[in-house]
Structure 1
């Protein structure tokens, strides 16, 4: 057994969870024993974090026989992902200077 590949983890999660965003990082140095993932899927709608993690683990049930460590960094719904991405795209507004009231005397 040669471990699990990043590509096989990506393929399995893509097939079973149909994510709109998926990031899989092999943190084992290439031996396929440890992965760090972010997954955004509509399958997570209405589910608590623990239920989402269980869905990911169930999707990877065969791969988990050879994976020693799986870190699920993010398991978000598409709406949550969109909300997290939005602030990064909005430029910071500069504070406006207070208006000065100028009155003419005369």
Structure 2
């Protein structure tokens, strides 16, 4: 359910490539709490990484309050054409209040 909400919100950035993965199983916070997003958009042309992330956060708006974490991998179409790789996410190392 949350994955669909995130995907719907990010259509505002007109992605040419979009991938979302629920990585909650790698963490201790429960279902639909951690996500990995690969987003390729012309909206990212000429922007630094922090500016791209700000655009994503703005598109997500209040949804950001409804999950714990999102790993963002943002590319311009030219970068994606050259790169097309995304690093694997690390497993959670704990440290959450939920671990105690």
Structure with a larger share of its residues in helix? 2
Structure 1 unmatched ranges of 5 or more: 86-106
TM-score by length of 1: 0.69
Q: How does 1:44-83 map to 2 (within 5 A)?
A: 44-72=44-72, 74-83=73-82
Q: Deviations over 1:30-57 (max 9, x none)?
A: 7221111110000001100110011111
Q: Deviations over 1:48-94 (max 9, x none)?
A: 0110011111111121011111111x200011111124xxxxxxxxx
2:19 counterpart of 1:23: yes
Point out which structure has higher relative CO (alpha carbons under 8 A, 6+ apart): 2
After superposition, the CA RMSD in angstroms is 1.5
* Number of residues of Structure 1 aligned to a counterpart in Structure 2: 80
> How many Å separate the matches in 2 of 1:17 and 1:48?
16
1:6 to 3, 11, 14: 3
TM-score by length of 2: 0.73
> How many Å separate the matches in 2 of 1:32 and 1:18?
24
Structure 2 unmatched ranges of 5 or more: 85-100
> How many Å separate the matches in 2 of 1:84 and 1:28?
26
